[in-house]
Amino acid sequence: MNTKSAVPAVKRPNIVAVGTIVWLGSEVMFFAGLFAIYFTLRAMNPDVWATQTEKHNFTFALINTLILVASSFTAQAGVFAAERMQPRRTGRGIRNWGTVEWFYLTFILGAIFVAGQSYEYATFVSEGVTLMSDPYGSAFYMTTGFHGIHVSLGLVAFLLVIGRIYAVKNFTHKEETTAVVVSYYWHFVDVVWIILFLIVYVLK
């Protein structure tokens, strides 16, 4: 009597998720370079930093930061819904929201953050702080500006995920993976901003 020994199935990591994590690793190096530039310019121009940082509206920046941090929680709620295979809401109330509703809310919060950052830029420009005005202006706009670009790209990604969910007939693991990957990127963007906030607005 021949019996075949059962071979346990090997669960391989998702290629898309792994690729995203590797790519985010390169993004860490990119922002590490920006931080190095910021600290170098700061060390060479302490008087400029002491003067220009006084122009920040700390309360406004803190509120804007909390909005972005909140969006990370809403994005994760959307991922949890995707893992339940619940693309859209199943009833009234926030507890019945699906991935689409949570990602819409994440998009709104992220857009508010970008609008707040744009308002801060406009205020700084009105006070004579521009990209070319002094070393502080260059460091401030480069670090926060590149981050703002990353946030904007994240907002586009959320819209693409929402559009894909509406486009497909059945919500599958492919759509779930897409939602998870976008959340990885969004959490990364949030963590980078928290570090930026501490460096730019808190660190004296």
Domain limits, the chain: 15-202
Classify residue 158 by burial, with Cβ atoms within 10 Å: 0-12, 13-18, 19+. Answer: buried
Read off the pLDDT of residues 100-159 as tens digits, 9 standing for 90 and up.
999 999 999 999 999 999 999 999 999 989 999 899 999 999 999 999 999 999 999 999
CATH class of 15-202: mainly alpha
Read off the pLDDT of residues 156-171 as tens digits, 9 standing for 90 and up.
999 999 999 999 888 8
Judge if pTM exceeds 0.85: yes
